[in-house]
Amino acid sequence: MRFLICGDVVGRAGREVVFQNLSGIKKRLSIDFVIINVDNAAHGFGIMPEIAYQFLENGADVLTAGNHLFDQKEAPGLLESEKRVLRPANMVNTVPGSGVLEIITPIGQKIIIVHLVGQVNMPMIGENPFYYMDKLLLKYQIGKNVQAIIVDFHAETTSEKNALGCHLDGRVSAVVGTHTHIPTADERILESGTAFQTDVGMCGDYNSVIGMQKVIAEKFVNGYSYKKMSPASGEATLCGVVVSVDTATGLALSVNSLRFGGVLHPSS
């Protein structure tokens, strides 16, 4: 089974590069299942219902988010009504929606998608993601009662992402990092068979500051800025990772970074 996990979509440019190319990529790479992080899809901040349904209608199977999810007032209602939009699973239980989605394919295979948020330098308060996964994996076990488990870990630091990958190695199919918008060159299969990449990057305009217009640089030059951040609007790059999973074991067979369009060098 082949999964495509796309990094944080930023603004209109990010949405358009996904909408225009996802169908062709799915066909060319024989993708069975698509997960897209939409944490910055609505004007750079969060997700709105109409945009969420555009992604789902254009070929996404599940949408994850992150620390900007609740920047849009419609988010709680969307989470309550649409199970394919996930909030971080390790947030407090009073938050609407779910961070775990169980899917049964037409041929009876069970897939689990888990969305987590990190603890280091992140504004959301919730349960330790390492402890959360330990408890969840008492219920779901690859090679036994599920065919694949994919984890989107929305976290700030590379060390925390790497630590979770090591912690879950051999127990999930893939741990994929999102949030920092820059694709890392470390996609690999870990020692016990879990696919991993520290960060898959973003779907957005890289002629920018992590997808935002360059005026944000003033904050770093002067220590402050009164200018409102808004997404860059040039040609975007679609960044993601393709993971092939052996459904008999739930472990990864291959993992390959994907970069398409825009100013970044395309993946080979």
- Which residue numbers are catalytic? 68
Q: Which residues fall within 8 angstroms of residue 34, CB to CB, at 6 or more apart?
A: 3, 4, 5, 6, 22, 26, 59, 60, 61, 62
The β-bridge partners of 40 are 10
Distance CA 32, CA 29 (A): 9
DSSP per-residue codes, the chain: -EEEEE-EEBHHHHHHHHHHHHHHHHHHHT--EEEEE-TBTTTTSS--HHHHHHHHHTT-SEEE--TTGGGSTTHHHHHHH-TTB---TTB-TTSSS-SEEEEE-TTS-EEEEEEEE-STT-S--B--HHHHHHHHTTT--BTTTBSEEEEEEE-S-HHHHHHHHHHHTTTSSEEEEESS-S--S--EE-TTS-EEES---EEB-SSSBTTB-GGGHHHHHHS---SPP-B--S--BEEEEEEEE-TTT--EEEEEEEEESSSSPPP-
